[in-house]
Amino acid sequence: MSCGYQLKWYDLVPLFSYLFLGGRCRQCKKHISLQYPIIEGVNGLMYVLIFVIKGWSLDAVIYCLLASALLTLSVIDFRTYEIPFCINVFIFLLGIVHLILHISDWKQYLIGFVLVSGIFEIIFLASKGRAIGGGDVKLMAAAGLLIGWKMAYLAMIAGCVIGSVTHLIRMKITKEGHKLAMGPYLSIGIILAVLWGESFLSWYFGLF
């Protein structure tokens, strides 16, 4: 049964729809959380950055899907301290597709699958899950398969540094507890590695 609603052009872009409707649902007029347009805007910005830096390619499409998955798991992990297994599986499948496209470089991607995740697994077992979560181990295994061991290692360092500094500031300002959701910070590290990791490594090794 038709409700008589006529689709507007801005309804095709959720961020525009939010602005034109004043942050309210068209039907019930209730306020829509600002979280949704922010996430949609960040997701769109990441897509633009990826295509600008990586060009129009299958790799860029895979990285865009990776960015959306990382953004989703970051929001969930930040709120619940848990990374959904299905998102890690999705990233793993992206890694398989990427591996097939770059089968000649299979060694670096298989090493990426075990390198950082292996380090995290040791920390996980040694701390009995208090220092790192099982979802973080799986995330870095799947991401490592997709981006290779060099980028995965760089993502780990960047994520840990950003996470530590950010959480220390949050603890100081908001009295946040010691419990830390690593997923969002590892995700930032992965995206930074995808976008600028190769340039950074070229610059760094060029110093020697």
List, for residues 187-202, the tens digit of each pLDDT value.
Answer: 999 999 999 999 998 8
C-alpha span between 157 and 200 (Å, rounded): 13
Structure tokens at 128: 């009995």
What pTM did the predictor assign?
0.84
Whether 204 shows a pLDDT value over 70: the answer reads: yes
- What single string gives the DSSP state of each residue in 70-136? HHHHHHHHHHHS---HHHHHHHHHHHHHHHHHTGGGHHHHHHHHHHHHHHHHHHHHHHTTSSS-HHH
What region does 16 belong to: left with phi over 0, alpha with psi -120 to 50, or beta? alpha
pLDDT at 182: 92
In the chain, the percentage of residues whose pLDDT exceeds 90 is 62
* Of 27-41, 59-73, 160-174, 194-208, minimum mean pLDDT range: 27-41
pLDDT at 48: 94
pLDDT at 41: 83
| Span 120-161, pLDDT tens digits | 999 999 998 888 999 999 999 999 999 999 999 999 999 999
For the chain, which residues make up each domain, given as ranges? 55-205
Contacts of residue 205, Cβ cutoff 8 Å, sequence gap at least 6: none
Mean pLDDT of all residues belonging to the chain? 86
Whether 93 shows a pLDDT value over 90: the answer reads: yes
CB atoms within 10 A of CB 62: 19
C-alpha span between 104 and 22 (Å, rounded): 52
pLDDT at 118: 96
More confident residue, 127 or 33: 127
